[in-house]
Amino acid sequence: MSSLGLRLTVLAGPRLPVPLPGPLTARIRSVEVTENDSERSVFTLTLDAGRSQSAGAVDVPWLTGPPLAAFSRVVVVVQLGAVPFVLSDGIVTEVKLTPGDGPGAATLSVTGEDVSYLLDREERDVEHPAMDAYAQVLRVLAPYATHGIVPRAVPSPVADPPLPIDRIPTQHGTDLAHLAALARDHGHVAYAMPGPAPGTSTFYWGPAVRGGPPQPALSVDLGPQTNVTEIHFRTEALGPIAVEGRVMDRQTGLAVPVMVPLGVRPPLAAVPFAAANLGQTRVRRLRGATSSTVAAYAEARAQVDRSLDAVIAEGRLDGVRYGGVLRPRALVGVRGAGWSHDGLWYVREVRHELAVGGYQAAFVLAREGHGALTPVLPVGGVI
């Protein structure tokens, strides 16, 4: 599919994804990919499933089997200009045929989830003796290299390797559930990212990425430079929390107070909402904490950090005018909305909508308060 400088390529296959046959590619009506920082990414391909009258009861070729059958691997690559981006790499989990009562009315919808589905198929009971969280992550991810999943793990700032005579870490559930539980305990995140090459993905385990070079700015009400078709901002006053509690330290036998009133994340806003309203935010008890003081503080800090984003922006952009692909779990600049809402934002969710008519993207941004910290933002460039 090609339109207005936009080129879409879809690869699929039971094991190794390859470009779709030309006649099947021509039947693609639209592609939707939703990327979220807290849930598994999903994709939906919508194809024309119409048959000629001479076909009678014969199915349209390729629409009832490979390469778009259930459990096939599908890769979506979008190219704007000279730069290709792997938009999705996942597994087909649902195929839906909707017969039509007129020409062009029949559709086939192929829906799937990102490759982290492969880590969520089988529940296991496994022991990980003498392994801290980082070592467990590498051990769990190692077998998935055969599926093109490359681990990218960041060690925790405070290592707490268990002694076998004290305790042995165990896994009771799927590999994905175990990685997610380890991430929560250390204030980290765990998710799969498509690419960088088609047919490969990266599984990230580590702190939430809220730094690094920002993506090209979203421009609001700036005449010919405007690339946002709509945007609105809201403040969620009940979002931020403080966490308090006690933990019985296993080594000393003493009850250690745990109190985290404010987050420690690097700020994106000049006036953080929680700090400006200190004493007004809700206080939550630390419950179900580990008996390790270090882990208890990490858990409390993670709860507070996850709640900090009190200011939310939602909108839509024109992908062709934007000239790139906006990705979640990274930073982006906003300009033209005024000082209170300009500056850097964390991209929480992006829903990419591609069709013959062009490319639109709905986005959700978040940060902890109001006010721009950066006077200058990148307008364009390579993502």
Q: How many H-runs (helices) and E-runs (strands) does the chain carry?
A: 6, 24
* In the predicted structure, residue 298 carries a pLDDT above the cut 90: no
pLDDT band of 381, cuts 50, 70, 90: very low
Fold: same for 2-115 and 215-235+311-372 = no
CATH class of 215-235+311-372: mainly beta
CATH class of 122-206: alpha beta
Strands (E), 14-98: 18-19, 28-36, 42-48, 73-80, 83-98
Q: Token pair for residue 318?
A: 């024109």
Helix (H, G, I), strand (E, B) or coil at 295: helix
pLDDT the model gives residue 383 = 35
Instruction: Tell me which H or E stretch contains 224.
Output: none
* In the predicted structure, residue 312 carries a pLDDT above the cut 80: yes
* In the predicted structure, residue 19 carries a pLDDT above the cut 80: yes
Each residue's pLDDT tens digit, 253-274: 778 888 888 888 889 999 999 8
279 burial type by CB count under 10 A (0-12 exposed, 13-18 middle, 19+ buried): exposed
- Domain 2-115 maps to which CATH number in 1.10.3720.10, 2.40.10.10, 2.60.120.1570, 3.30.930.10? 2.40.10.10
Question: Average pLDDT, stretch 291-295?
Answer: 72
CB 134 within 8 A of CB 159: yes
Identify the residue with better confidence: 208 or 172: 172
Residues of the chain with pLDDT > 90: what percent? 50
Each residue's pLDDT tens digit, 173-184: 999 999 999 988
Output phi, psi for 375, to 5 deg. Answer: -75, -20
Per-chain mean pLDDT for the chain: 87
Identify the weakest region by mean pLDDT among 37-46, 71-80, 155-164: 155-164
Identify the residue with better confidence: 166 or 334: 334
Each residue's pLDDT tens digit, 213-222: 899 999 999 9
* In the predicted structure, residue 200 carries a pLDDT above the cut 80: yes
Each residue's pLDDT tens digit, 27-73: 999 999 999 988 899 999 999 987 755 455 556 666 667 889 999 99
Domain extents in the chain: 2-115, 122-206, 215-235+311-372, 241-307
CA distances (Å), 43 to each of 211, 321, 361, in order?
A: 27, 23, 14
Q: Token pair for residue 2?
A: 């090609």
Global pTM reads 0.85
Dist CA 160 CA 110 (whole Å): 44
Dist CA 290 CA 277 (whole Å): 30
pLDDT band of 300, cuts 50, 70, 90: confident
Question: Average pLDDT, stretch 62-88?
Answer: 86
